Amino acid sequence: MTSLWELYITFFKVGIMTFGGGYAMLPILQREVVENKGWATEAELADYYAIGQCTPGVIAVNTATFIGQKTKGVAGGIIATLGVVSPSLLIIIALAKIISNFANLAIVKNAFAGIRACVCVLIFNAVCKLWKSSVIDKITFIIFLTVCLCSLILNISPVFFVLLAAISGIVIKQVEARKK
Amino acid sequence: MIYLRLYYEFFKTGLFAIGGGLATLPFLNNMADTTGWFTRGQLADMVAVSESTPGPMGVNMATYVGFTTANIPGAIIATLGLITPSIIIILIIAAFLRAFKNNQYVIAAFYGLRPASTALIAAAGIGVIEIALFNEQNTGNFVSFLQSANIKAIVLAIIIIILTRFIPQTKKWHPIIFIMISAVVGMIFHFAGV
């Protein structure tokens, strides 16, 4: 039985290991939440990211609330979210007091240039894992390709793609059902 | 009462900023203009610190702005303000999904949603590649783009691809180990060129 404390500590760890936005959190979530704890599947993570991208708020917080809620109900949702934001509070408060120009230090700039190179590989690996549970046939492959290219070329909000993809899913399944 | 105002301003940001940490930026710019708590110049520094510290960027920004405005209580209240709308909205959606998880329309919607979600993350990842592996000063044509390649970062990325995908012993390592190694490599080999 998962305790609220375990949920808090796990999401505290996820928060502290996330460098960048919600996308950088994905490889950490796959390791900690899917592989180590088994609280969600890869497919469910894809669902949470889809919803997290088209609902208000920071994606990392939306995803934490989802997984917490699934594991331990409403209290779980709140505790997981508090866990994921706690490291930010501690680290920013500590840093702001010591140095205000932290981001301009040469050593910090160099370290983060290295971390960014690593994070783009980790996101690529994370996408490969999600691919296995989301791109399962020709139609889903076409949806993947269309959305990926369009969102790279056009400057359109992800909300539009998420809604369109959901509607396409419903229409395609209806058409398939009619054929049978 | 500054705390109430701070909570209200960040609640608004959390409610209307859709699509991740950077989406909060226009709201923070507006906050700088209307409240006078901080300047846009200070905000630029806060964005840089938020990107260079652990934790989701949007949360880091709320904490930092809150701290600048009203010290430690300000940091806590701003962060709570930011996450309150998310918690409420996601809990409602999660309850809805649980109730309708066997509904054929919900299943069909997710059939279409999952590849789209993966595609959006892939596209965001490609955006990170541009920032991480290429320098900013290219003029837009293909040749200058290739010339702007950060060779050291590309070599590191290739090594990490090999370690995380092809070598059985290192494949199992926790992602944070690769992040830490990359930070050290970046410091030793002056990846940012400073």
- Whether B178 and B134 share a structural domain: yes
Instruction: State which residues form the domain around A147.
Output: 135-180
Instruction: State which residues form the domain around B130.
Output: 111-188
What percent of chain A clears pLDDT 70, i.e. is strictly above it?
Answer: 98
Q: With an 8 Å Cβ cutoff, are B56 and A60 in contact?
A: yes
Number of domains in chain B: 2
- Whether A42 and A12 share a structural domain: yes
- Whether B39 and B75 share a structural domain: yes
- Whether A31 and A100 share a structural domain: yes
Task: Inform me whether the C-beta atom of residue B15 falls under 8 Å from chain A C-beta atoms.
Answer: yes
- Whether A120 and A174 share a structural domain: no
Q: With an 8 Å Cβ cutoff, are B45 and A103 in contact?
A: yes
From B82, B153, B107, B16, select the one nearest A111 (Cα to Cα): B153
Q: With an 8 Å Cβ cutoff, are B116 and A96 in contact?
A: no
The per-residue pLDDT for range A24-66, each reduced to its tens digit, is 899 999 999 999 999 999 999 999 998 988 888 888 899 999 9
Q: How far is CA B66 from the centre of its chain?
A: 18
Contacts of A18 in chain B (CB under 8 A): 54-56
CB-based contact A27:A101 (threshold 8 Å): no
Question: What is chain A's mean pLDDT, rounded?
Answer: 91
Asked if residue B155 belongs to a domain, the reply is yes
- Whether A14 and A100 share a structural domain: yes
- Whether B48 and B118 share a structural domain: no
Distance from CA of A124 to the nearest CA of B (A): 7
Q: With an 8 Å Cβ cutoff, are A103 and B49 in contact?
A: yes
- Whether B32 and B69 share a structural domain: yes
Upper half-sphere CA count for residue A93 (Cβ side, 13 Å)? 17
- Whether B62 and B137 share a structural domain: no
- Whether A53 and A112 share a structural domain: yes
Asked if residue B194 belongs to a domain, the reply is no
- Whether A107 and A162 share a structural domain: no
Q: With 80 as the cut, is the pLDDT of residue A111 above it?
A: yes
- Whether A127 and A143 share a structural domain: no
Asked if residue B158 belongs to a domain, the reply is yes
- Whether B10 and B93 share a structural domain: yes
- Whether A71 and A16 share a structural domain: yes
Number of domains in chain A: 2
pLDDT band for position A99 (cuts 50, 70, 90): low
Last residue within a domain, chosen from B34, B67, B99: B99
Mutation test of the interface with chain B: which of A53, A58, A109, choosing the one with the most B Cβ atoms within 10 A?
A58
- Whether A84 and A164 share a structural domain: no
- Whether A41 and A93 share a structural domain: yes
- Amino acid B139: pLDDT: 58
- Whether A92 and A62 share a structural domain: yes
User: CB neighbours of A88 closer than 8 A, spacing ≥ 6?
Assistant: A15, B53, B54, B55, B56, B59, B60, B63, B79
- Whether B140 and B170 share a structural domain: yes
- Amino acid A1: pLDDT: 62
Q: With 80 as the cut, is the pLDDT of residue A101 above it?
A: no
Q: Vertex B28, ends A163 and B88: CA angle to 5°?
A: 50
Distance from CA of B8 to the nearest CA of A (A): 14
- Whether B29 and B73 share a structural domain: yes
Walk along chain B (194 residues) and give the pLDDT tens digit of each residue.
Answer: 899 999 999 999 998 887 666 678 888 888 888 998 988 888 888 888 888 888 888 899 899 999 989 999 999 999 999 999 999 999 999 999 889 989 999 999 999 999 999 998 898 888 888 888 887 655 567 777 777 788 999 999 999 999 999 999 999 999 999 999 999 999 999 988 88
> What is this model's ipTM?
0.88
Q: With an 8 Å Cβ cutoff, are A47 and B67 in contact?
A: no
What DSSP assignment string belongs to A67-124?
A: HHHHHHHHHHHHHHHHHHHHHHHHHHHHHHHH-S-GGG-HHHHHHHHHHHHHHHHHHH
- Whether A23 and A96 share a structural domain: yes
- Amino acid B136: pLDDT: 65
